Amino acid sequence: MSWKAILYDWGGLNAALFEAVNHGTPPSLAPFAWLFSSLLGNYWTAPLLILGLWRWSSARGEAPRAALGRRQLGRRQLRGLVAAFALALAIATFLKLLFDLPRPLALYGETVRVIGAAEWRYSLPSGHSLYAILAAGALWPLAGARSRIGLALYVVLVGWSRIASGMHFPADVLAAWIIGLGCLALASRLEVWLLPCATTIAPLAAHHWYAVAGVVAWIDQASKSVIVHEFAYGEVLPVNARFNLVHIGNTGAAFSLLAGASGWQRYAFIVLALGVSAWLSWMLRSAVPPLAKLGYSLILGGALGNAADRVVRGMVVDFLDFHWGTVHWPAFNTADVAISMGAVCLIFNALTQRTS
């Protein structure tokens, strides 16, 4: 007997439970299944949750001691959510690509009642259920007894909705809950280790941070050169159901802002990138924490990589294309990844500073 038959199929119980929930859910509950499956359990709502935690931690209008405790608890949970989300995303992506288990629709065809867009591959684990347990875990210490009942019910309803909608098996939902709880626990342990390190690590000289920025810019230009030489302009290479490699150019800023202008934007963005790079170089020589300097160096490397594109090619080369069905996130590149990672470092640095 294989591991899949024991750990995933549960001797046929996994499929039996799926059929009982998917076929047994009355049509009148279909709107609720869609609500929790496609909206309330969707991880694209993560920015709203992060914003809510940040707002909650402001704690205005309270006694100074209560406000301080509230800010510290809120920011700790916010840091834990960001770290756990990153860990969970990496683990879930690895498991989906490693096992590539079929969705119920791929196994049972038209007998499955599907609510929402049809999904065929990468069933393990349920990403929506994973996000739901992460969100509930981040809010749990901040909630009272009644609110915790609501959070537990939210997690269960998201898991139920993914099965009722024909998107996942019960084993996918259970695996997501286990992974989510593990990532929350691991993120909590990482914070205990990282926070002292962030305050005790020996500062590096400015030229070391410039070297980090240079490596980032080199990696960015090397990856773009491979795309330019190996891909025809506009070519699309599907990697999996959620990700393509493409070769497109962007003459504008992020999300193609001003891409349709007459050409002046190229020089304006070059001047802007050089100005920002000069400011970042100055910040790397100032007395700021190492984590902030790491963020500045990553952003500097990304800015120089995209600026080099505008100087040499007249446009920025984008080649990373993530999508959900027919909805595509704007294509981006390794410089954009570095800039985003740098911004995360700066945010984390701000959250780890002592609250005055």
Choose the catalytic residue: 220, 309, 321, 336. Answer: 336
Are 293 and 284 in contact by the 8 Å Cβ rule? The answer is: yes
Are 331 and 248 in contact by the 8 Å Cβ rule? The answer is: yes
With CA atoms as reference, report the closest residue to 121 among 239, 245, 22: 239
Q: What's phi and psi for 9, nearest 5 deg? A: -75, -25
Active site includes 318? yes
CA dihedral 177, 178, 183, 185 (to 10 degrees): 110
Active site includes 309? no
Sign of the C-alpha dihedral computed for residues 201, 204, 210 and 214 taken in this order: negative
Helix, strand, coil shares of the chain, percent, nearest 5, are 70, 5, 25
Angle among Cα 62, 68, 69 to the nearest 5 degrees reads 100
Task: Tell me the residue type at 271.
Answer: V
Are 338 and 348 in contact by the 8 Å Cβ rule? The answer is: no
Residue 166, Cα to own-chain centre: how many angstroms?
24
Choose the catalytic residue: 220, 309, 318, 321. Answer: 318
Residues marked active site are found at: 318, 336
